[in-house]
Amino acid sequence: MKKIVVLGAGMMGAVIAVNLCRQYHVTVVDRDRNQLNSLETQHPVETRRVDLSIPRAAREVIRDHDLVIGALPGFMGFEILKTVIRSGKDVVDISFFAEDPFKLDTLAKKQNVTVVVDCGVAPGMSNIILGYCNQRMSVSDYECLVGGLPVKRRWPYQYKAPFSPIDVIEEYTRPARVVENGKVVVKPALSDAEYVEIDPVGTLEAFNTDGLRTLLKTMTIANMKEKTLRYPGHIETMRVLGETGFFSKEPVEVSGSTVRPIDITAKLLSSMWRPEQNEPDFTVMQITIRGKEGRRHKEYVYRLFDRFDEHAEASSMARTTGYTCTAVARLILDGGFARKGVCPPEYIGAEPNRFHRIMADLQRHNVNYTCEERIIEGA
């Protein structure tokens, strides 16, 4: 039986481990013993309490495994990934770190390992879909609208964070790169806000975030953008916090102590944004791809609407992110994807058989994407 080690026992890591543990030998690593105990008592997984910020400890824990899955906060992701690559291990990562993953491409090829990064729902499945379409047609326009939200709206944020709050704050502060008329344009995060109608939710608010990531280097498409979806009003609250300085990383002195405002903000938000146990949520994504296929101009619209799984007690965001990751993990372990180096998910979607296998794996877990196709007349 092949052996997998999952780094991180949070919401995403736990769903990934549970999904894989009856097919493979799974070890889950985290420094939080309570999270590990909860997994170990309910599922056939092995657990190890390790501080993964120590490279020597990380190297030791991954040594005897066939595949590593990275499910750690973004601020840890890049360095841990570097450690995994240096250890000569194939890896699938969902930490969504800020650094450019292609900086590790030379090292990964030297170590002869497969490194799939950004392997969640978006980025992740969105990239796989675009990679698939890009092989079938000459794509001119790509737009991804995506968000994970609680079913119940609560003042003042109307939001719960399936990831570490500091990672969400990073999403709200990092300048957003979009492509307009073939050129990369940098815009402020939270910019170009607009209301959109998303079935079956209703009116949501969409705004720019830096979600294109690897697509900026791997795709030659005239117009590309990704926008995050939230309940109306959320963006204004975030702008107020940002303008006031609560997201600043510059230390300030308070009563003789030096602190970073962002650390205090993340600490305070962690309790307000933490989902309650088994709190219902949903994930919604709408991907619009336009271009020329043969002699016709076409538009494809892929849609996802996914809900909290009451039976498995798994959040929708954890399901849609985690099951994309596990589908790719199976693909690698079965020999279905063996490209060496840093491989963003669009590389996987570029081959039709791999694309359909990923889609089928997700459907088995009741994560269902629909696709609407239409011919654009007069284009």
pLDDT tens digits, one per residue of 231-288? 999 999 999 999 999 999 999 998 999 999 999 999 999 989 998 888 999 999 999 9
Does the predicted TM-score (pTM) go above 0.85?
yes
DSSP 285-336: EEEEEEEEETTEEEEEEEEEEEE-BTTTTB-HHHHHHHHHHHHHHHHHHTTS
Calculate Rg over the CA atoms of the chain. 20
What's the CA gap between 284 and 349, in Å, rounded?
A: 20
Q: Are strands 114-116 and 281-293 parallel, antiparallel or unpaired?
A: unpaired
What's the CA gap between 322 and 119, in Å, rounded?
A: 8
User: How many angstroms separate the Cα of 259 from the Cα of each of 170, 172, 195?
Assistant: 18, 20, 37
- Which amino acid, 165? P
Single out the residue of 84, 72, 71 nearest to residue 111, CA to CA.
Answer: 84
What's the CA gap between 183 and 350, in Å, rounded?
A: 23
Single out the residue of 65, 70, 68 nearest to residue 13, CA to CA.
Answer: 70
348-377 core/surface letters (b: 16 or more CB in 10 A; e: else):
bbbbeebbebbbebbeebebebeeeeeeee
| Residue 29 burial by Cβ neighbours in a 10 Å radius (0-12, 13-18, 19+) | buried
Structure tokens of 104?
Answer: 């590790």
Each residue's pLDDT tens digit in the chain (379 positions)?
899 999 999 989 999 999 999 999 999 999 988 889 989 899 999 999 999 999 899 999 999 999 999 999 888 999 999 999 999 999 999 999 989 999 999 999 999 999 999 999 999 999 999 999 999 999 999 999 999 999 999 999 999 987 778 889 988 999 999 999 999 999 999 999 999 999 999 999 999 999 999 999 999 999 999 999 999 999 999 999 999 999 999 999 989 999 999 999 999 999 899 988 889 999 999 999 999 999 999 999 999 999 999 988 889 999 999 999 999 999 999 999 999 999 999 999 999 999 999 999 999 999 999 999 999 876 6
Backbone angles phi, psi at 70, to 5 degrees: -95, 115
Q: What is the pLDDT of residues 357-367, one digit of tens each?
A: 999 999 999 99
301 forms beta bridges with 288, 372
Domains (range + CATH), the chain: 3-120+317-367 (3.40.50.720), 125-307 (3.30.360.10)
DSSP 253-298: EETTEEE-HHHHHHHHHHHHHSPPTT--EEEEEEEEEEEEETTEEE
